[in-house]
Structure 1
Amino acid sequence: MSTDFYEIWIKPYAAIIIKICRAYTNSQEDFEDYYQEVCLQIWRTRNNFGGQSDWSTWVYRLALNVSLTLLKKKKNDPQFFTSEFLPNELVETSPVFPDEALNHLYDAIKLLSEVDRGIVLLYLEEKSYQEIADITGTNPNNIGVRITRIKERLKKLMDGKVN
């Protein structure tokens, strides 16, 4: 992967990748592995981007798909991963947020189903129901209902009313 490709096509979207990878991992090592795999898949499949959506939408969808695939592989083979290093600017800003409330929110998000995690992350990024539906492969009406249920579940999780 060239430095130019990383600087132009990945680095501006690093926050998207970080948020998704953080929601699907529980350790710094796994986070680094997920992040690297997403970046590698962006580079490998860059020629498949047809421009039917925004690049950021494509990055979201790819990051979600890669994270879900890695999560599935990890469940089936705990020895699947090997850790390498991320660029310093990402390690310093990745998985732990300085705001304790934000950490609490992410802890609650990790307790949601795999698909609901993706939906709520997109919602928190202020994506429209249509954009979320496009990324997750569902319809906008379904997204509205799911977001309402996810909010209720997160509130209960954060208030300690659900284990």
Structure 2
Amino acid sequence: MNKKEHFTRAIEENEGLIYKVTLLYTDSLQDREDLYQEIVFQLWKSYDSFDEFSKLSTWMYRVAMNTAIYNLKKNNRKVGTTTIDPMVERIAEHKDHSEDEKLKLLHDQIQKLNLLEKGIILLYLEGKSHDEIAEIIGITTSNVGTKISRIKKKLKSQINKN
């Protein structure tokens, strides 16, 4: 399999993570499509630098999140309320109204976090280990634990105010 075929296969197998990042850091369909293309372009440009010591999905998350954050800063744009994961909405549809309200409140509070905090909590909610989050974000594992604890406290405090 040549480089192009291997890359295409990697994108197809991991496109869900790219969509999740685009949903978190954009507020319109057009912006999501543009960011998706930019992420794939950046992945292609840096594909040769991927080392086999990390998981491919971990490396792809890192490139995707860095691209999204860079584009937001470059365009000096704010992100409105977006869905973290369409599956969360489907799960909420099957629960009672109060659970739906709780989920919306949590989602709204996550949108108020800064860019790094959003990225960390997204990875945490996806079940990524502290080691994986550290590798993706580029901080130490112990710092990940500290940041997650602070983010949880911040979210709890924000939710209790409402």
Return the TM-score normalized by structure 2: 0.76
Q: Which amino acid aligns with 1:41?
A: Q
Deviates more, 1:147-156 or 1:101-110: 101-110
The CA distance in 2 between the partners of 1:125 and 1:96, in whole Å, is: 11
Which residue does the alignment assign to 1:161? Answer: 161
Q: Which amino acid aligns with 1:123?
A: Y
The CA distance in 2 between the partners of 1:33 and 1:97, in whole Å, is: 23
The question of whether the paired residues in 2 share the 8 Å contact of 1:22 and 1:95 is answered with no
Which residue does the alignment assign to 1:118? Answer: 119
Which residue does the alignment assign to 2:56? Answer: 55
Instruction: Quote the RMSD (CA, aligned, Å).
Output: 2.8
Which residue does the alignment assign to 2:26? Answer: 25
Which residue does the alignment assign to 2:97? Answer: none
The question of whether the paired residues in 2 share the 8 Å contact of 1:133 and 1:140 is answered with yes
Which residue does the alignment assign to 1:42? Answer: 43
Pairwise CA distance, 1:99: 4.5
For structure 2, the 5+ residue unaligned runs are 79-84, 93-99
Secondary structure class of the residue paired with 2:27:
coil
Q: Deviations over 1:118-145 (max 9, x none)?
A: 1111111211111111111111111111
For structure 1, the 5+ residue unaligned runs are 79-92
Q: In 2 relative to 1, CA 31–156 (structure 1 residues): closer, same or farther, beyond 3 Å?
A: farther
Which residue does the alignment assign to 2:82? Answer: none
- Give identity over the alignment, percent: 39
Pairwise CA distance, 1:2: 5.7
The CA distance in 1 between the partners of 2:128 and 2:108, in whole Å, is: 21
Number of positions where the alignment pairs a residue of Structure 1 with one of Structure 2: 145
Q: In 2 relative to 1, CA 23–95 (structure 1 residues): closer, same or farther, beyond 3 Å?
A: farther
Counting helix residues as a fraction of each chain, which structure ranks higher? 2
The CA distance in 1 between the partners of 2:12 and 2:120, in whole Å, is: 23
Pairwise CA distance, 1:95: 10
The CA distance in 2 between the partners of 1:96 and 1:125, in whole Å, is: 11
Pairwise CA distance, 1:17: 1.1
Deviates more, 1:128-137 or 1:58-67: 128-137
Pairwise CA distance, 1:97: 3.9
Return the TM-score normalized by structure 1: 0.75
Q: In 2 relative to 1, CA 36–105 (structure 1 residues): closer, same or farther, beyond 3 Å?
A: farther
The question of whether the paired residues in 2 share the 8 Å contact of 1:31 and 1:95 is answered with no
